[in-house]
Structures are given as structure tokens and as C-alpha cells.
Amino acid sequence: MTTSAPSARKCPFHVPTELDQDFDILRNPGHTEDPYKALAMALEGKPRIFWSSTNPFSKQPGAWVLTRTEDMRTVLRNPKLFSSAENAGFSKLLGENWSLVPLEMDPPHHGAMRAWVNPLFASSVIPAMEPAIRETCVQLIEEFRSKGHCEFINEFGRPFPVTVILQLMGLPVSELPRFLEWEDELLHSEDMGVKAKAARQIKDYLVEQIADRRQKPRDDLFTKATIAEVGGAPLSEDEVLGFCYLMFVGGLDTVASSLGLHFQYLAEHPELQERLRKDPSLIPQAVEELLRRFSLVVSHRRATEDTELAGVQIKAGDWITIHTPASAIDETLHSDPYTVDIDRPNKAHLTFSFGAHTCLGMHLARRELIIALEEWTQRVPGFRIKPGAPLRTHAGPVYGVDELHLEWN
């Protein structure tokens, strides 16, 4: 796929014309069939770092797009030079100015806030959660196992991790359909009015829940936020909201999206399924390789001062899009990035980000993915994609699968 120079200059004056490129894979219908293939086509012939004014993943008029893992790591490991403030921008949709905590925070306050948050999701606390996580997983599988088929996303991919995080947050699982509708509109709609409405509905709901926890404390994450102290002072109202908002939005989408992508691959590769059935000890390394192959989150940073990155001059105030799915197909990181090889010695990836903002829920996410594979490979015989059934994927702020029909004998 060749690229052509834009017909009219839309980029800032400091951006060389040859670096101003179109990048809108959501206009490529192929992203609903294979978003990574559509991404590879969109990046073909592009410079290592380029500016795009047609970047659907940026909430700004334009942004620099990084295509190599090396450059993404450089940005992610330098929070003072590349700010996370307004990274997601949900409060801006409402004309407000609170931050997702700790995602949109910069040093030094970010470090203090992570010191409070990290123990809530530390690897040492995950084993105590495992029995409840596994019970949820088994219950969902048993609801459809005897039928010989399921629509994976709605019957397992979403309900499994979302039920786990809702229980941790202390939110009712019965409200799952409404929560997922808000989430889909906020993260995947291209209509800014729809996104803003969803952002408002989520905020209003969370404000009610926070007020309820202050009146009636429980053993859940929301209550912990209302009573937390950082630096000897309680969290502000905006900080409590920012933490709860991040838990809500982050918990309802990313692991569910990974499950869809991983199980689509497994359904298309019965030999890997069989290998994991025969030797379940391989499942953790298989999960790590699938995480590498299907990195899925798009995030953003803003330069705080003039700097140079891989020979490109970046000005203070410029936005940078960190498209981690591009890292998944980066041939400078892995010579055969499209191949899923669970024996690959180097499974380095950016699926959980990198540096100070490494995903705080990564230990929980890994455990959920491992448990899902363990229970599926032991309880469900060889599964495959149902012939003739619709299969829909998507690119976007979080890559994923919308519809995946599986069947087994």
C-alpha cells in the first residue's frame, strides 16, 4: 500500500511535509476482519515516526505516531519529558478537569499515588483472589459446555473478567449490560456527542456509588479510595472519582478484548490447543506469547519541552500516539512477529505498557487469562470457529473482537 502526500497541509509549521501522513485505519474496512493486518497496511511505506492530522486514535487535531517499540519505550520511560496528563481525556469530554488516577498523573504526585495503589493489585494478593476467579470461570463455561457451541464474547469473554472486576469494585453484576453499553459508547463510538453522553452517565453513576461508600463502607476498591490517605492527607473528591473511573473503564474492556483475540487465534490453531491440553504447564508461557502477539492498547503522551526522537524534531505541546499494536508487529523487535511461538525465548512486549505507568492490574490480568485457558482446555474439547458464522473484530483505542462463534464436538 503506497502513501501519497496530503492534498493540503494540515500539520503544524514545524512538521516537515514528508512526515505529514494519513493514518486512519478505521476507514479501512479490513479492520473488522483483521485489525493487525489493516494496521500493517496502514503503516506500509510510512516513516519510522510521522505526523498525522487524520489520526482517529488521537483526541487532538494531530499527533506524532510511533511505529517502533524502541521509540515507544523511550517515551514511556521519560514521564517528565512526555506527560501523561489528559492522556485519556474523559473529563475534557465533560468540560471538566479531573484526572484518571494514577493514569493521567505525572511525577512526583504519580509516584506517591502509585505507592498507595500498587499494593491493591500486587502479585502477592492475587493467589487469595484465585478461588473466586476460577469459580466464576467454571460457572460460565458450564452454562454452555454441553450445548457444543457459544458466542464467545457475550457468553464468556466479557462476563468472565468483568464479573471479577465488578466484584472487586463492589458493583452489581446485574448491571453488566448497562455498563458495557456505556463502555462501548465511550471507547468505540466516533460520535463525540455519544462519547460525551456515556462519559457523563459513567461519572454520575460513580459519584452516587462513592457517596454510598462514604455512608456505608464495604470491603471493596471504591471504599478503599474513600478512606485512603496519600502523604498524610485523604484523597480529594476529584482523586477518588479519578481512581474509580479508571477502575471502571479499565476493568470492563482490556482483559475481555485480550480474551477475544487469544481465543480467536486458538480456535484457528487446533495444534496449539492440543499441546496445551496435553501439557497445561505450558499455559503461562502461551499466555505471555499471546499477549506479545496481540498488544492492543493505544495511549498518548504530550511533550513538555522541545526534544528530538529518532531524528525527528518534536516541539513542546506536541501529542504523541503510542500505538502498541504496532509493537506487536514490529520486525525490529522480533524477526517473525506475526508467528505465535510459545517457545520463543524473548517474549518482550508493551501490552501492559512500560515504565512508571506499567499497568497496575497486570498480575490480575495474567491470572485471569491463565485460568481461562486452563479451564477451557480441560473442560471443552477442541473448539473451532463455527463455519459461516460472523466474525467481527475492531481497531480503536483498544483492539478486540466483537463477535466470535465457537463450536466443538
Architecture of domain 36-381+389-408: Orthogonal Bundle (1.10)
What pLDDT sits at residue 6? 43
Which residues is 298 bridged to in the sheet?
323
Ranges of the chain with pLDDT below 70: 1-9, 55, 57-59
User: What CA–CA distance (Å, rounded) separates 232 from 202?
Assistant: 29
- pLDDT, residue 8, reads 58
* pTM (two decimals): 0.94
pLDDT value at residue 59? 65
Note the pLDDT of residue 7.
44
Confidence (pLDDT) at 3: 45
**Phi and psi torsions of 322, nearest 5°:** -100, 95
Domain ranges of the chain: 36-381+389-408
